[in-house]
Amino acid sequence: MPHPKLSTSHKSSVSIRDMIEAKKSSRQLGAKLEKGIPVILLLIALVSILTTVGIVLTLFTEMIEFFRRVPIMDFFTGTVLKPLSQTPEFGVLPLITGTVLSSAVAMAVAAPVGLMTAIYLSEYASERARKIFKPMLEVLAGIPTIVYGFFAFTFVTPLLREIIPGLEATNILSPGIVMGIMIIPMIASLSEDAMRSVPNSMRAGALALGSTKLEVTGRVVIPAAFSGIVASFVLGISRAIGETMIVTIASGSSKNFTFDLTQSMQTMTAYIVEVTGGDAAAGSTIYYSLYAVAMTLFVFTLLMNVLARYVSRRFREEY
């Protein structure tokens, strides 16, 4: 008969050994997971890159087929766009003009209003007022763009026609103004974040030297936050260039090459919607023109993003 103390000692040594082995196996499993996590994260990170590459390849291959049928110089220098006529012409300048003018009107509205709003929230508003007004402002960013489009067509355009008698029922001025209203929250929020990142010691130093609140804002805070403010402007322009529903509803489908804001014009995004929603047969020239315009729009937005990154790095202030 085994001794009770020896039996108990044997059982405890076995249980401790099992615990050690279990601990080793769990550590090995954890090490394997630790090695696999970077691979998983890399694959997730590659999703956006591979998606972008896929989009570019799709646009490029279809665009090549278009330029086999239409000379590239005729496309980028042509002022007439008549894809459905008996003698079709595919000049993209009317679309570029409409896109640039609508974005310029949007920035003319959004830049001063957004910047002034950011200055108020950052420098003048109390903490309680900031917590109330900033979420209310950002609600504008959550409104669907199709709602903005109908707002431009049914409210802003009739209102403007009372002021500007020659304004057409569909025009580029009304959607440009409404796009400006839409991107105000983006510019105001990003600019306010840039201003709030300026150290309070700089404000205190300027105030101690006798500067007024307005002078501190204009000569200290804004120059220090300049890179963030300009980046918000460039991102706002990119958002305006890529807007679809507002211009599709309120600017019309007339492919006019003009700089008159009161006339109906079409943007690149509106043309893409028109072609994809129309009767363009797959394999036709108008079908392939869709990809040429889409690639042009892609290059526009890419250049805006590159410019924003350059400005942010070039004028960044570190404290």
pLDDT digits (tens, 9 = 90+) for 236-252: 888 888 888 899 888 88
Same domain membership, residue 285 and residue 169: yes
Same domain membership, residue 227 and residue 166: yes
Q: What digits encode the pLDDT tens for the residues 80-91?
A: 888 877 888 888
Same domain membership, residue 153 and residue 287: yes
User: Does 87 fall in a domain?
Assistant: yes
CATH number (domain holding residue 142) = 1.10.3720.10
Is the per-residue pLDDT at 234 higher than 70?
Answer: yes
Same domain membership, residue 128 and residue 41: no
Same domain membership, residue 241 and residue 278: yes
Is the per-residue pLDDT at 109 higher than 90?
Answer: yes
Side-chain-side CA neighbours of 214 within 13 Å: the count stands at 1
Same domain membership, residue 257 and residue 145: yes
Could you give phi then psi for residue 288, rounded to 5 degrees? -75, -25
Burial class, 184, CB count within 10 angstroms (exposed 0-12 / middle 13-18 / buried 19+): buried
Same domain membership, residue 109 and residue 12: no
- The reported pLDDT for the residue numbered 151 is 92
Total number of domains in the chain? 2
Q: Are 266 and 95 in contact (CB under 8 A)?
A: yes
Same domain membership, residue 153 and residue 279: yes
Q: What's the rounded Cα separation, in Å, for the pair 90 and 293?
A: 10
Same domain membership, residue 271 and residue 205: yes
Q: What digits encode the pLDDT tens for the residues 191-232?
A: 988 898 888 888 888 888 888 888 888 888 888 888 888 888
Using a cut of 0.85, tell me whether the model's pTM lies above it: no
Q: With bands split at pLDDT 50, 70 and 90, how would you rate the model's confidence at 23?
A: low
Same domain membership, residue 107 and residue 23: no
Q: With bands split at pLDDT 50, 70 and 90, how would you rate the model's confidence at 318?
A: low
User: Does 75 fall in a domain?
Assistant: no
Same domain membership, residue 285 and residue 173: yes
pLDDT, averaged across the chain: 83
- The reported pLDDT for the residue numbered 6 is 45
- Start-end of H helices in the chain: 4-69, 72-77, 93-119, 127-138, 145-151, 157-163, 173-196, 200-208, 213-216, 222-224, 226-241, 245-250, 268-277, 285-314
- The reported pLDDT for the residue numbered 22 is 62
* Domain region containing 19: 4-69
Q: Are 114 and 138 in contact (CB under 8 A)?
A: no
